[in-house]
Structure 1
Amino acid sequence: MDLEAVAAISRLKYRYLRCLDTKSWDEFADTLVPEATSTYGEYLQFESRDALVAFMRNTLGPHVITEHHCDHPEIDVHGNKATGVWYLADTVLIPEHSMILRGAAFYHDEYVLCDDGQWRIAHTGYERTYEAVVSLRDLPSFRMTSNRWASVLAEGPWSMAENPRAS
């Protein structure tokens, strides 16, 4: 087993998740090859890095807070290509709609070692094992006490200053 490659691919996946959650879109794009494909569940499919990044930027902008955790990697390296299966647990907080989504899935990824010596994702995607949605209106004790993007949302429909649940 090529432990250096496994470590580099693990670091790549963690960076993909960090950049997704911090909305660092340029760095997120750099985790993918230009022709990367992706499939999230049954209905979301993308045929290029640009299409995926544009979708994530628009869908998971500052109005949505995400938390993605991947662990239990099963990575197989075959020269300059590799495959990986990861367990995903995620939380998506959508204040504008007063909802929280929780879920789990298994990512199935393909990686390539690029000319610059960096591993990048050639294909990523997951199949959900479950997904559940809870209305924040059903949780009277819910309070948002911190939000990295609060200043961006200060004039939006769910600003911390205007929302009684935010304090």
Structure 2
Amino acid sequence: MDLEAVAAISRLKYAYLRALDTKCWDEFADTLLPDATANYGEHLAFESRDALVDFMKSNLGPQTITEHHCGHPEIDVDGDTATGRWYLSDTVLIPEHGMVLRGAAFYSDRYVRGPDGRWRIAHTGYERTYEAVMSLSDIPSFRLTSNRWAADTEPGKGDS
């Protein structure tokens, strides 16, 4: 087993998730090949890095807080290509719509090591094991006490 490649691919997946959650779109794009594809269930499929990044920028702006955790990697390396399976647990919080989504899924990825020696995602996607949506009004004690992007969306709100 190529443990160095497994470690580099793990780091790549973690960077993908961190960049997504922190809305660092240039870093997010850099985890993907230009012709990368993605499929996040029945209605979300993308045929290029640009299409995926544009969608994420448009739909996961400052009004949406996301938290993605991946673990239990199963990575198989074959020269300069690899596949990976990851367990995902995610939370999406949209205060302006008064909702929270919780879910879990299994990612299936393909990776390619480029001439520069860096691994990038050639394909990513997941199949949900569950997804649940709740209204924040159903959680009477809910109060958002910190939001990294609140200053961008709601003056006077944020860290308390």
Q: TM-score, normalised to structure 2's length?
A: 0.97
2:139 counterpart of 1:142: no
1:110-153 alpha-carbon deviations (Å, 9 max, x no partner): 00001111000000000000000010011111010000001101
2:36 corresponding residue in structure 1:
36
Structure-1 residue corresponding to 2:106: 106
Query: 1:11-160, aligned counterparts within 5 Å?
Result: 11-154=11-154, 160=157
How far has the Cα of 1:63 moved from its partner? 0.5
Q: Distance in 2 between matches of 1:150 and 1:59?
A: 16
Offset at 1:68? Answer: 0.1
CA positional deviation for 1:160? 3.3
CA distance in structure 1 between the partners assigned to 2:157 and 2:39 by the alignment: 34
Q: What one-letter code is carried by the residue in structure 2 that aligns with 1:160?
A: K
- Matched pairs, number: 160
Residue 12 of structure 1 aligns with an amino acid whose one-letter code is L
CA distance in 2, matches of 1:97, 1:115: 45
**C-alpha distance in 1 between matches for 2:25 and 2:136:** 28
Asked whether the 8 Å contact 1:144–1:160 carries over to 2, the reply is no
Segments of structure 2 that go 5 or more residues without pairing to the other structure are none
Q: What displacement does 1:96 show?
A: 1.1
2:22 and 2:5 map into 1 onto residues whose CA distance is 25
Matching residue's letter, 1:120: R
**Could you tell me which amino acid in structure 2 is paired with residue 123 of structure 1?**
H
Shift of 1:37: 0.2
How big is the shift at 1:91? Answer: 0.1
Could you tell me which amino acid in structure 1 is paired with residue 28 of structure 2?
F
Which consecutive segments of 4 or more residues in structure 1 shift more than 4 A?
Answer: none
TM-score by length of 1: 0.93
3-state SS of the aligned residue for 1:57? Answer: helix
RMSD over equivalenced CA pairs, Å: 1.3
Structure 2 CA distance, aligned partners of 1:103 and 1:123?
A: 21
Alignment deviations for residues 8-35 of structure 1 (CA, whole Å, 9 cap, x no partner): 0000000000000000000000000000
- CA deviations 1:62-83 (Å, max 9, x no partner) are 0100000000000000000000
